[in-house]
A and B are shown apart, each in its own frame.
Chain A
Amino acid sequence: MKQRLNYEGVAIAAPFTMPYQRYSIDTAHWWIAKALRGSLDAAGVAPTEIDGFSVASFTLAPDTAVGLTQHLGLCPRWLDNIPMGGASASVALRRAARAIQAGDANIVACVAGDTNQIDSFRNMLSSFSRFAMDASYPYGYGGPNANFALLTDRYMQTYGATREDFGRLCVAQRDNALRNPNALMKKPLTLDDYINARPIADPIALFDCVMPCAGSECFLVMSEEQAQRRNVAYATIGSAIERHNAHAEDDIQLRGGWTMDVDELYAMAECAPTDIDLLQTYDDYPVISMMQIEDLGFCAKGEAPEFVRSHDLTINGDFPHNTSGGQLSAGQAGAAGGFIGMVEAIRQVTGTAGATQVKDAATALVSGFGMINYDRGVCSSASILKTGARA
C-alpha cells in the first residue's frame, strides 16, 4: 500500500483548557464557547477568521456542530463533527491538517467540551450506543466500569499484571496532577490508598476510575506560514493515524487498532519510540494505558507491567507520561477527555506547560482511544507532535 502524504507545513497552536468543574449548571455550548474564545484570544484570531470548525461533544443534544455555527455566529466553509470520544483529538487534528493542506480552510478551530450536570452521566450512558443498550447495559448496568473490569481481569490473567502495577501508573499521574492547578484531584495518592480503595467492579476500584466532570479544550490548526506571520508558538505534526473496529476477531480486547498503524506512525514522523520525550495516553482506566504503551512500541505485548515497574512515569522521570495528571487525576470532561493529552502535548513541545513542563520536550506522542460500543473500544488514534516554534 502506498504510504499516505505527510502533514508537512501544518501548525498546531493556541492550546487552551477551560478549568474543569465536578458539576456545572452551564451547558456544553457554554463550555465550548469558553474554550474557543480562549484559543482565539491566545492567538489573536478574530471569530470571523475561523473558516474551519471541528467539534467533539456528548452533551450538545439536540445540537451538533451545525447548531453551534449559528449559536456562536461562525461561518465556516469546512465543518466537522467528531463523535469519537477519547479518540477525537488526533482524528480532529488529522482531518483539520488535511483541510489546511488542501486549502479547504485557513484556520480550523478544534474544540471538545462537555458539561456535567447531576444526571448527565446517567443520561449519556442510557443513549450511548445501540449495542450497549441491547447487549451490555441490561447486564448490571455497570457502564464503562464493567467493560474495563472485564478487560482488566483478562489482561491480569493473561499477562500476570497485578493491581500494584496499575497502581504505580495511577500514583505517578497523581504526582503530576499535583503540579497542575486545574486538576480536580488535589490530594496525594499513595499505593496503599490505591490498593485499599473502595471496590467498584472487581478488579477495578475507586482510583482506577475517572471522575466525570465538566470542561473544555481547544486548539487551532493553520499553516506554519500563517503561524509564523501571527508570531504564535506552534507544534508541527510528525504523523497522525486513526483506525476503527480493529481486531474484531479477538475474543476480548487485549490490543487496540494502534498495532495496525504503528509502523507508519513512526516512519512518517521519522523517529522511533526512543525519540519520544513524553507520552500522553488515553487513560480512562490504567489497563488501557498499559495497552497503549505496548501497542505503540515502548515495550512488547504483555510487558507493560514490567515497564511501569522499571520506569519513572512522572514529569521528571525517565518516561514522562500524562504530565497534566491525565483524566485519572485531572478529571474526565466528556469528549474533552479525548483532547486533554493533545492540548497538554502542544504546551509541552512549545515550552508553555508551566509547572508540568518536561525539560527540553521536543517530541510528544499523543494517543487516543474511545467508544465502548459493546464489549470493547472501537476507535483508536495517535499522533506525534514536534516543536515548531517555542514561545
Chain B
Amino acid sequence: MTDELPLPPRKDPQKRTTSPTRPPEARSRASLGLSAAAAEGRFALQVCADCNAVQYPPRDACSSCIGTDLLWQDIAATGQLLADTVIQTSTKLYFRERAPWRMGSVKLDAGPVVLCHIHNDCEKNSAVTMLNRLDASGQGVLLAIPTIRTTHMEDDPQLRALSADPRHRRILITDAWNPNTPTVANALIEAGASTVFIGESESWRPHPNRDALAAIDKVEVLPLDVTDTASVKKLAGEIGGKTDILINNARFMRPGGVLDRGDTGFAKEEMEVNYLGMMRLAQAFGPGMCARTTDGVNSAVAWVNILSVNALSNTPDYGCFSASNAAAYSLSQSLRGEFRGAGLRVMNIFVGPTDDAWYQPLPPPKVLPPAIARSLVDGLQRGLEDVWCGDIAKDVRDRWRRDPKVLEREMTNGGDGA
C-alpha cells in the first residue's frame, strides 16, 4: 500500500535542480481526442456510429465494420487487470529516472483491452477503475487505480505525477482584494498546501479581506501590483524559486460595452490587469517555475487563471470586460504552448457571473467563492486544463460547442422595440 508522502525537507541549495524530462508527447491526430477528454477529467473512447463498437487505440476507421464515423463518448471506466509488469529500464529518460515503473494490460468492461499505467495499490487480476489524466507532456494517458480506495492512494508517485495536487506545495494567489481570495486560500490549506502567499496591491488602503487573511495560519501577504512590472519582478525575486502553483485571480471589471463608455480609460485598466497582468506575471514567474517542474515533491506544477466564461463569447452588458478576458484566454493558450516543454500545466477556470458588487444587476444563478474554491482544488487534484464553474459557465460552454455563431446571435440580442 502507498505510504503517506512526508513534507519534503528544505531544499539544499548546493544540490543541482533536476532538468525537466517528459514522457513521450507524439500522438496521432485521432489520439488527441483522449487528451481533450483528459483536459476535462473525462474517460472517453471512440464509438462507431454505425455498429457501436468501442475502439482502442484511437483510430480513423472502425475495426469491426470499417465505418469512419467514430465519436468520442464517455465510457464506463471499469475493467479487470489481465497482466502487469514493472519496467526496470527504459530508453526514454523520463521513465528511466522514475524506474521501476508499473504498467499493464486491462480488459475494459466496455470491450477493448488497454495498455496503461498501473497504480501500485492494484492487486494482480483485480477489478480496477480507469482514470484518463494529462501527463507531464499534456497528453491524456490511462491509469488503472484500485476500485476500492486505499489510504494515501493520491500519494502514489504515478498518480501524483498525473495531477497538480496542492498537497505540500507553495502557492501564490495574486490578488488579496478579490472577494474569493480568503475562501480559496482556506481551501488550498485544507487540501495540504504548505504555504499560501497572497499578493496585495495598494497595501496602504484598507480592504474587507485583510482581517480574514490575517487570521489564516500558513498565509503570507506580500506586496504585488500586477499592473506594475517592477512590483511583479520584485516579488518574483523573493518567492519565484518557491512558487509551485500560481493562481492568477487579479481582476479589474466595470460594466458596459463600447457605447456605454465615453473613453477607453476603463478598457485600458481592464487590459492592464486582466491581460497584461497575466503577461507580466508569466514573464517574471514563468521561467523560474519552468526550471523547477521536476524539483521533487514540491516541484512547480501549475499555473491557474480564473477567467470569465464570456472569454468564449462576448456579452455586451460587460462587453469591454469580456474582450479583456478573451485576450487573457488567448494568451493562456500561448502560455500552455510555451510551458509545455517544461511540463508546467496551465489550468483555466471559466466562471459565470459571481455574486459580488460588479455583477449586482444580474439575476441568479451566481457563483459564490466556495464554488470557485472547490472547482480550483478539484481541478488541481485531477490535473485538469479546463474547468467550468457554475451553471452559467457550463451552459455557455455547451452552447458554444454546439454552435458558436448561434451562441453569438443569442448573446447579442438587441431586444424588441415598442
Contact = CB atoms under 8 A, between A and B. Distances in A.
Question: A and B, one complex?
Answer: yes
A47 interface: no
B90 interface: yes
Interface in A358-391: 374-375
Interface in B28-48: 28, 30-31
Contacts of B142: 139
B141 A251 contact: no
Interface string B255-284: 000000000000000000000000000000
Interface in A197-214: 198-204
Given A139-B141, A142-B103, A150-B105, A252 B82 contact: yes
Interface string B95-115: 100000111110100000111
A135 B106 CA distance: 13
Contacts of A143: 90-91
B57 A252 contact: no
A251 B113 CA distance: 6
Dominant SS at the A interface?
mixed
Given A125-B91, A141-B92, A201-B87, A150 B31 contact: no
A140 interface: yes
B92 A201 contact: no
A134 B107 contact: no
Contacts of A151: 83
B24 A252 contact: no
Contacts of B333: none
B86 A141 contact: no
A162 interface: no
Among A133, A141, A146: residue with most chain B CB under 10 A: A141
Contacts of B84: 150, 153
A316 interface: no
A145 B86 CA distance: 10
Contacts of A154: 82-83, 105
A361 B160 CA distance: 59
Interface in B104-157: 104-105, 107, 113-117, 125, 135, 139, 141-142
A157 interface: yes
Interface residues of A, number: 37
Contact of A135 (B56, B85, B90, B101): B56
B135 A138 contact: yes
A248 interface: yes
Contacts of B105: 150, 154, 251-252, 375
A319 interface: no
A136 interface: yes
B88 A201 contact: yes
B27 interface: yes
Interface residues on B, range: 35 or more
Nearest to B140: A138
The listed residue with most B CB atoms (<10 A of its CB), out of A122, A126, A151, A153, is A153
Nearest to A252: B82
A199 B88 contact: yes
Contacts of A131: 57
B85 A134 contact: no
Interface in B53-70: 56-58, 63
Contacts, number: 114
A130 interface: yes
Nearest to B93: A141
Contact of B28 (A134, A141, A201, A202): A134
Contacts of B115: 135-136, 139, 150, 374-375
Given A133-B24, A133-B27, A251-B82, A138 B139 contact: yes
B26 A126 contact: yes
Interface in B366-387: none
A154 B113 CA distance: 14
B87 A140 contact: yes
A121 interface: yes
Contacts of A307: none
Contact of A142 (B23, B90, B113, B141): B90
Given A143-B91, A199-B88, A134 B57 contact: yes
B63 A248 contact: yes
Contacts of B63: 248
A150 B105 CA distance: 7
B89 interface: yes
Q: Which 7 interchain pairs have the tightest Cβ spacing? A: A149-B85, A135-B57, A141-B92, A134-B31, A142-B87, A150-B83, A154-B83
14 contacts: A126-B24, A135-B57, A138-B139, A142-B95, A143-B90, A145-B89, A150-B83, A150-B104, A150-B105, A151-B83, A153-B84, A157-B83, A248-B63, A252-B113
Interface of B: 23-24, 26-28, 30-31, 56-58, 63, 82-92, 94-95, 101-105, 107, 113-117, 125, 135, 139, 141-142
Given A138-B24, A252-B82, 20 more contacts: A125-B91, A134-B58, A138-B23, A138-B139, A139-B141, A140-B102, A141-B92, A141-B94, A150-B82, A150-B83, A150-B105, A157-B83, A201-B85, A201-B88, A202-B85, A248-B63, A252-B113, A375-B105, A375-B113, A375-B115
